[in-house]
Amino acid sequence: MASQDWIDKDFYSVLGVSKDASQADIKKAYRKLARKYHPDQNPGDAAAEKKFKDITEANSVLSDKDEREEYDAIRAMGSGARFAGSPGGGGAAGDASFEDIFGGMFGGGGRGGRRTSYSTSGGGFSGGGGFEDLFAQFGGQDGGTRFTTSGGPAYGAPGGYGGYQGPPAKGEDIHTTTTIPLRSAYNGTTVKLRRGNGQTTTVRVPKGVKDEQRLKVAGKGHSGPGGNGDLFVTVKIKDHPFFSRDGQNVAVTVPVTVSEAALGATIEVPTLDGNHVNVKIPAGTSSGRRFRVKGKGFTSGSKTGNMIVTVDIELPKSLDDQAKEAVEAFAKATEDFDPRAGLSEKAAE
């Protein structure tokens, strides 16, 4: 693989070893640097990518005994060596190239020199570099991956640097759905999910979870060579016969009597936390009027909503004679009140 640009490249310096370093020292230095600068460890870092190319080229030469001897001989001649075809060259005659001359000197096989290759298919470097050991530490090997050191390490193969397929894939994610009561969404809860293999996974559902909200449980998916996938749980919330949700607020509708609405009253209203609150209904309250009870809504993070109480005046289905007389007396006393006054004008707008 003799190349004229070897004169200007200090492979020992690239690997950080001395010129009399043993093959074991070279291998150790290369593996340490390769782990540090591998493209999969430094995605998008062009400087690290170039560094990895340089150390790979240096190792491919120095880890091969013949290549190293050839390199040392070329470097010993110094950077002033010139050959036919090079600017200012006057040494070798005719069209003989750098590779022709040194190919003959070191048995490289003529013009173009000797091409060195290495792979991760179990054979390692042709010079014994042990490249497969390195990639085994990155999570696995690709039996068909080949790299070439002719002119530097090759790029462009599918799957990453020189065809390296990257770390092994994680296991598949699991997606499932669970349904919980509204009160459990208010207070927070835990649910146990049973997998097909009989194993159970406990999932914590936080306070204030929303309907159709998706929760992620890391590492609880299917297993794979690169680790477990994740578990995703979509939470559905059952309707409640009394309480309903409006954003962060809890909404309720409370029936009141005519007398409570007309004269005013304090009524007791249940809350989602299992307690009760007292709500004051002022005199003259009509159906549909809303009252706010602060801090009795859903809590999510640092925010807590309110409970919105809507009153609905409800009458008995039947009235006895005494009740009818009372209502008639009330109607007569309030006959000047017309709740539909101006309704036609509003409808005509």
CATH number at residue 188: 2.60.260.20
pLDDT at 308: 98
Same-domain check for residues 16 and 155: yes
- CATH code of the domain in which 146 resides: 1.10.287.110
Domain shared by 9 and 158, yes or no:
yes
Q: What is the pTM of this model?
A: 0.50
What pLDDT sits at residue 39?
82
- CB atoms under 10 Å from CB of 217, counted, come to 16
**What was the pLDDT predicted at 149?**
36
Same domain, 221 and 87: no
Parallel, antiparallel or unpaired: strands 146-148 and 117-119? antiparallel
Residue type at 1? M
Shared domain for 293 and 150, answered yes or no, is no
Q: Is residue 168 included in any domain, yes or no?
A: no
* Same domain (yes/no): 38, 128: yes
Same domain, 19 and 82: yes
Number of domains in the chain: 3
Residue whose C-alpha is closest to residue 95's, from 81, 85, 108 = 85
Residue 267 lies in a domain: yes
Residue 287 domain-assigned (yes or no) = yes
Positions of the chain with pLDDT under 70: 1-5, 78-166
Q: Are residues 250 and 319 in the same domain?
A: yes
Q: Which domain range does residue 253 map to?
A: 244-333
CA 313, CA 126: separation in Å to the nearest integer?
92
Q: Does residue 298 sit within a domain?
A: yes
In a domain, 345, yes or no: no
pLDDT score recorded for residue 158: 45
- Strand residue runs (E) in 141-283: 146-148, 174-180, 189-194, 200-205, 213-217, 231-237, 244-246, 249-256, 265-270, 276-281
127 and 179 both lie in a single domain:
no
Give the model's pLDDT for residue 241: 95
Q: Are 196 and 216 contained in the same domain?
A: yes
